[in-house]
Structure 1
């Protein structure tokens, strides 16, 4: 392994001079800096992370706090994490992934050590217990999520936040279905644990769904559901028993998408002739479903990229910019259509065609 001393010998300077060039703590002449940089490039020298931290008080590491809690769809979390990692490398940073459910303790550990220069925080809850510690921390932080019920003014959280505008996403689903004539809509939401924790994206979506339903005169029924076939089958059966006039379903639970479509097939309900389905999910889930789904895209990659760009700007000395919400994009596919005529109308039509 190439050492700092090897670079010094190759460049014909002292080890301390190489150290000063790497840390920037002393002014070194341009010709000497260039000679040392050429030696670094030729030898392939890479400073040890610990040595960089001691020399410059910077680690070039970002801590990504991604607690793997029950009820969350791990593939989406990993897509965000991959976007964070690849964007961080473009800017010269590595990523330390923290997946434990430590809450404020994880923030204190990063803040009190030299393991990372900044924090990116996921799975943000309403009244998240990490928020007071993040606001007081010297290391900058960006949230992927919004710890409020609605899209609040940019400075209301006191932190940098990036996310999909889930409130607008919920409203967009209802607006699309109302335009197709649907007046009875049921929502298959995230698992109950997600709502019990007050997870921001889920509660904000529900706020948007309910507001738009009220505006458009749509009857709305919400059912949290686990992503198993048995749980989805029980929920769907109960929905149609309680609200026989339901003609459309909104699903915000990626794990429940295929079980839902299978349950509808088993019950003899054609999509979209008998019931329309709209999802809030990543494009790959919607496109590859057994019935291609009309869906509001969850832009996981954009969320990860924006978070890193925000944190890099903060580390460069720029002030916090508040909240940035990505506008929802709904793509129409094969799973939605006009609301079917009520059963009474169909019966009357058949009777009329039969004559007297």
Structure 2
């Protein structure tokens, strides 16, 4: 196999000059660069991946930070990942999946391992934001922190998703509504989507004059059972339910039925979840769909735009779409005499 020494000899330059041409660390005249490129082609020289990246200032790799923190639904996370991978493939990029949180930003960017970053599981006051803001590489967040620090963001508009779910129940006559929310550990981290979902839910209930209850719920059968029992103890007249917890959803419905509150006759349900979750239940539920794969693809589209023009930063929130699947029952609204 040809070596960098062979290339230098063929091009009539020093090895350091070939190295500078590959790395871009020093300016090389156009004539010298052409001789080096010709020598590389004639000899079939193949620099290692790091040198190729330095030569072109590109790796053709997008880093995807998807830290596997407690309380997250890995199945939903993987839908976002699938969207990023699909979008990257269409744009000619590979994806480096980063599941560790601490130090990942500095490690992969300072060593030029990636051309850009997609960052998931964003918190309201995310500790990664200052580092991301100062990167040479562009970054897109899947999530919306309180202050994006000028970074580009894309996500479902979870505040509107919560509001849309409540308005559907209110329109059907429900005035006692509970939210089965994200697990407590997700809420305690002030994860962006959970915070916005709750704000949208509470705001819509208050605007409609509806009684409401918000319960963080463990992503498990036991967590679902505990939350349903607590709802029935604290709000026995509950008739409307918003569920933003994919793992708990089927167990919530089962527990209400066991407690003599069938869906939708006694309790109406609107879920906020990916479409496949809503339709996979024995009786599909009306839902505000989380288009996870689509959002992943949009994140890559935004990244490729930023790589061409760094001034194209933006915050893009996908409008929620409610799909009727028969789990909302109309109730008679009793008015005062």
TM-score, with length taken from structure 2: 0.85
In 2, the alpha carbon distance for the partners of 1:79 and 1:264 equals: 29
Q: CA offsets, 1:139-198, max 9 Å, x none?
A: 1111000012xxx8xxx6311000000000000001000000000001100100000000
Segments of 5+ residues of structure 2 without an aligned counterpart are 14-18
Cα pair 1:64 1:98 within 8 Å, conserved: yes
- Counterparts of residues 35-50 of structure 1 (less than 5 Å): 48-50=48-50
1:125 partnered with 2:123: yes
Match of 2:16 in 1: none
Does 2:190 correspond to 1:192? no
Q: CA deviation at 1:113?
A: 1.0
The question of 1:67 aligning with 2:59 is answered no
In structure 1, distance between residues paired with 2:163 and 2:12: 62
- Point out where structure 1 has 5 or more consecutive residues left out of the alignment: 343-356
d(CA) in 1 for partners of 2:73, 2:201: 21
Q: Cα distance 1:47–1:256, how it changes in 2: closer, same or farther (>3 A)?
A: farther
Would the alpha carbon gap of residues 305 and 240 (structure 1) be closer, same or farther in structure 2, given more than 3 Å must change?
A: same
Q: Give the aligned CA root-mean-square deviation in angstroms.
A: 3.2
C-alpha distance in structure 1 between counterparts of 2:109 and 2:287, whole Å = 40
Give the distance between the partners of 1:15 and 1:238, measured in 2 at CA. Answer: 80
**Contact in 1 for aligned 2:285/2:326 (Cα 8 Å):** yes
In the alignment, what sits opposite 1:147?
145
TM superposition shift of 1:48: 4.7
1:77 alignment counterpart: 77
The 8 Å contact of residues 243 and 272 in structure 2, kept in 1 or not, is answered as: yes
Instruction: Find 1:306's aligned residue among 291, 298, 319.
Output: 298
Contact preservation (8 Å) 2:138, 2:310? no
1:216 equivalent in alignment to 2:219:
no
SS of residue paired to 1:76: helix
| 2:217 equivalent to 1:225 | yes
Secondary structure of 1:75's counterpart equals helix
Q: State the Cα distance separating 1:320 from its structure 2 match.
A: 3.6
Counting matched residue pairs gives 321
Equivalent pair of 1:278/1:294 in contact (CA under 8 Å): yes
Q: Is the 8 A contact 1:227 1:259 kept in 2?
A: no
| Whole-Å separation in 1 of the counterparts to 2:330 and 2:227 | 23
Contact 1:20/1:26, CA 8 A, preserved across alignment: no
- Alignment partner of 1:339: what SS? coil
Runs of 4+, deviation exceeding 3 Å = 2-5, 13-16, 19-28, 45-48
Q: Where do residues 110-121 of structure 1 align in structure 2 (5 Å cutoff)?
A: 110-121=108-119
Q: Is the 8 A contact 1:261 1:291 kept in 2?
A: no
- Rounded to whole Å, the distance in 1 between the matches of 2:272 and 2:241 is 11
Equivalent position of 1:95 in the other structure:
95
Q: Check the 8 A contact 1:169/1:208 in 2, yes or no.
A: yes
User: Which of these residues, 234, 252, 273, is aligned with residue 260 of structure 1?
Assistant: 252
Aligned to 1:270: 262
